[in-house]
Amino acid sequence: MKRIIFLSLVVLMPIMMLAQISKGDEYYNTGQYDLAKDYYLKALSGITTQAEKAQVNYKLGFCYKILGDFDKAEMYFGVAVQNYVKGVIKPDVLLFYADALRMNGRYEDAIDIYKQYLQVSPQDHRATSGLASCTVVPKWISRPTRYKVINVSKFNTMQLDFSPVWASKDYRSIYFTSSREGSMGSRDNYKSGQKFTDIFEVTQDRKGSWSEPLPLAGGINTAEDEGASTVSLKGTDMFFTRCKAGKKVDEPCKIFYSAKKGNAWGDAVVVTIPGFENYEIGYPALSNDDKFLYFSAEAPEGYGGMDLYVAERTGGSGYSFGRPINLGPIINTLGDEVFPTVREDGTLYFASDGHQGMGGLDIYKAVKDDKGKFTAIENLRYPINSSFDDFGIIFSGKEETGYFSSNRKGGKGSDDLYSFSLPPLVVTLNGVVRDTTDLEKIILIKDAKITLVNDAGVVAELVSSATGSFTYKLEPNQNYEVKAMVNKDYFSNSAKFTTFNVEYDTVINVVINLARIPRIIVLPNIEYDYDKATLRPESTVALDGLVKTLTDNPNITIELRAHTDFRGNDDYNQELSLARAKSCVDYLIEKGIKPDRLTAKGLGESEPRVITKELAASYPAFKEGDVLTEPYINKLTNKKNIEDAHQLNRRTEFSVISTDYGADGETKDGVTKDGVVPKGQQGSAIIKDSNTGDF
């Protein structure tokens, strides 16, 4: 008898297993994944073949992927991959397995699986995007944005709580979707595994405390799924998503409209979107002027999955729309683009699992160009985005605060509401002023006058401390220049920097070196070819430095002094050196230096170069104190040393001849006291030769 019973069980077990798989497939094919998984789980113990194990685990992984349990999705997809049989399950099991690994933060493991899948489907954008994400996301996590994210426990339950929307202009009332106890849809939603959702409201009092969430009064909430809503500026019109689902119901979700009457909402009517009557649509979002409705839809002409569309409001009913326009490939992908939100400034925010992101749905923003086209999108990165689903963001007007939804780990339930805020960016200028007249004995300068200027003008006037230091709190997105000066015996100096594109709290360190004004300063690398007055291209670097010195020190006038080597007769060399000095003056005038601050002087071969300690270090053939006279050079035998000596003599210097330019407020040489060169005289100069006068 026992033998007969045992044999009967052996026969019945495969039959029961096949029946459970068949029933699971019935629910799976109609999108009732919560029911489907239960039957697949029952069938697992009776599976004996590799092909069946691959099939059932693949479908279990997909069920848990849709239900948002990514730990189990990873587990079952992993088993399906281990038992993969070609032709039994699709190769996309590798893609789904890699996605699950990525969502669980296992980026290195996901990279290996993405690469395996790309060998089979090298053109699949989902895999290439996922692979790229696994490389960049760890960097985002290690260097998060400055947003602070907090789970709003007051709003959340163990059930679904998501998709917030402002219900009032003062940002003191929020509508959101929830499957918590008290919702009218108390039965199970076999697609989501949760109770059916309703729209709830919370309000904030003057002390900042939020009320207990209450379901909306009126005709919006029903026994079906309601959620993902948007409200007009006046708070009197609402568009929301409603979905009917059940064991024998499989209707696409639709957008509904309701008008507020007093304190209650009127009966909802379905919104007909031209051309989308038989397609899944939802996630409505009104534009900031209420004239356009953004929404998601899954239609054959789309790019794949749910795409974002926009339709213009028409007629007088409040819920009539023209034919929608797909937002195009910049926004839409092979994945899903859902939960659009339009900020007060017109910026579009949405969630997507098709763009490069951290895993699951990430939140992105898109800004229109001057032609009204979206040209690029930006991932909001960690910590607003996570490796799980992040979606449905709203902002408190122009402020960088608001709320969004996420099913990340550490929450109170499945989908939770989170608040976010962006602390003020702290950018600090730390500076020090030094006397570098003698580089071997640098001195910190006390009581130097510091002027800080941005694009709007002077923002601060400071004085350096006993240690030569100064500090100031800077504004973001500004161009700055800081200038330091002591007195007429010192050159002033400045430094420029910017706080544009500074994303994190930052200290900008600036060292400003000042030097006493010497008698003569040699301009380095001002070089000419033999017997030429034309500047070599490399000479402009030093002259640009002189432009900065003259700009930083508008009170000084200078004399440009040019020298030649001894080759050629004295008169010719005198003429050549003056031409060389004039070349430098002309360059400075082209750069905007006032002509009457410049004097050209030609010295010919009359002042041979004296070798300094610094020059001796660069030219070992010469010793400190050597004077490169004609007799000295004629004694040299090495051709290179001879040419070096000639080149050192062919130099240009400048000396400061006045430190009170413009002090009397009078015009000089045709330049007005406000520094403007009269029309018709721009670029002209009076070039003076100290030996022969004007020419």
Give the pLDDT confidence score for residue 191 in this predicted structure: 61
Pick the range with the lowest mean pLDDT from 57-61, 661-665, 681-685.
681-685
Q: How many angstroms separate the Cα of 105 from the Cα of each of 74, 137, 590, 626?
A: 11, 9, 59, 70
Tokens of 686: 């009076």
Give the pLDDT confidence score for residue 657 in this predicted structure: 87
Query: Which neighbouring-strand residues pair with 625?
Result: none
Burial label, 353 (beta-carbon count in 10 A; 0-12, 13-18, 19+): buried
- Eight-class DSSP state of 501: T
Query: Which neighbouring-strand residues pair with 239?
Result: 230, 257
* Count of CB atoms situated within 10 Å of the CB of 581: 27
- Of 668 and 123, more confident: 123
Give the pLDDT confidence score for residue 414 in this predicted structure: 85
- In degrees, rounded to 5, the angle at the alpha carbon of residue 422 between the alpha carbons of residues 418 and 424 is 155
Pick the range with the lowest mean pLDDT from 211-225, 308-322, 668-682.
668-682
Pick the range with the lowest mean pLDDT from 84-98, 125-139, 363-377, 679-693.
679-693
Answer whether residue 327 shows pLDDT above 50.
yes
Please write the tens of the pLDDT for every residue from 379-406: 999 999 999 999 999 999 999 999 999 9
Per the CB < 8 A criterion, the answer to whether 419 and 150 are in contact is yes
Please write the tens of the pLDDT for every residue from 547-603: 999 999 999 999 999 998 898 898 999 999 999 999 999 999 999 999 999 999 999
Query: Which neighbouring-strand residues pair with 513?
Result: 434
**Among the four given CATH numbers 1.10.287, 2.115.10, 1.10.10, 2.40.128, the one describing domain 153-414:** 2.115.10
Q: How many angstroms separate the Cα of 253 from the Cα of each of 66, 128, 283?
A: 16, 31, 10
Q: What spatial distance separates the first Cα and last Cα of the chain, rounded to whole Å?
A: 132
The fraction of the chain above a pLDDT of 90, given in percent, is: 65
β-bridge pairing 427-435 and 443-444: antiparallel
Give the pLDDT confidence score for residue 123 in this predicted structure: 87
Answer whether residue 513 shows pLDDT above 70.
yes
288-298: average pLDDT: 95
**Residue 262: band (very low, low, confident or very high) from pLDDT cuts 50, 70, 90:** confident
Answer whether residue 688 shows pLDDT above 50.
no
Give the pLDDT confidence score for residue 679 in this predicted structure: 36
Answer whether residue 683 shows pLDDT above 80.
no
* Count of CB atoms situated within 10 Å of the CB of 454: 17
Give the pLDDT confidence score for residue 406 in this predicted structure: 97
For the ranges 108-112, 519-523, 671-675, 678-682, the maximum mean pLDDT occurs at: 108-112
Answer whether residue 692 shows pLDDT above 90.
no
Give Rg (Cα) of the chain: 38
532-548: average pLDDT: 87
Mean per-residue pLDDT of the chain: 88
Pick the range with the lowest mean pLDDT from 15-29, 108-122, 459-473.
15-29
Contacts of 441 (CB under 8 A, 6+ apart): none
Give the pLDDT confidence score for residue 13 in this predicted structure: 53
Answer whether residue 647 shows pLDDT above 50.
yes
List the one residue out of 654, 513, 540 whose CA is nearest residue 597: 654
- Of 248 and 260, more confident: 260
Contacts of 284 (CB under 8 A, 6+ apart): 228, 229, 230, 239, 240, 241, 255, 293, 294, 295
Give the pLDDT confidence score for residue 315 in this predicted structure: 83
Q: Which CATH superfamily is domain 2-142 in?
A: Tetratricopeptide repeat domain (1.25.40.10)
Please write the tens of the pLDDT for every residue from 154-164: 999 999 999 99
Q: Which CATH superfamily is domain 521-609+651-694 in?
A: OmpA-like domain (3.30.1330.60)
Residue in this structure with the two tokens 């007249």, named with its chain if needed = 437
Classify domain 427-514 by CATH number: 2.60.40.10
Burial label, 203 (beta-carbon count in 10 A; 0-12, 13-18, 19+): middle
Please write the tens of the pLDDT for every residue from 169-181: 899 999 999 998 8
Answer whether residue 15 shows pLDDT above 60.
yes
Please write the tens of the pLDDT for every residue from 614-641: 899 999 999 999 999 999 999 999 999 9
The structural domains of the chain, with segments of one domain joined by +, span: 2-142, 153-414, 427-514, 521-609+651-694
Q: Which long-range contacts (CB under 8 A, 24 or more apart) does 440-445 make?
A: 444/468, 444/469, 445/484, 445/486, 445/514
Give the pLDDT confidence score for residue 194 in this predicted structure: 66
Give the pLDDT confidence score for residue 676 in this predicted structure: 36
Give the pLDDT confidence score for residue 304 in this predicted structure: 85
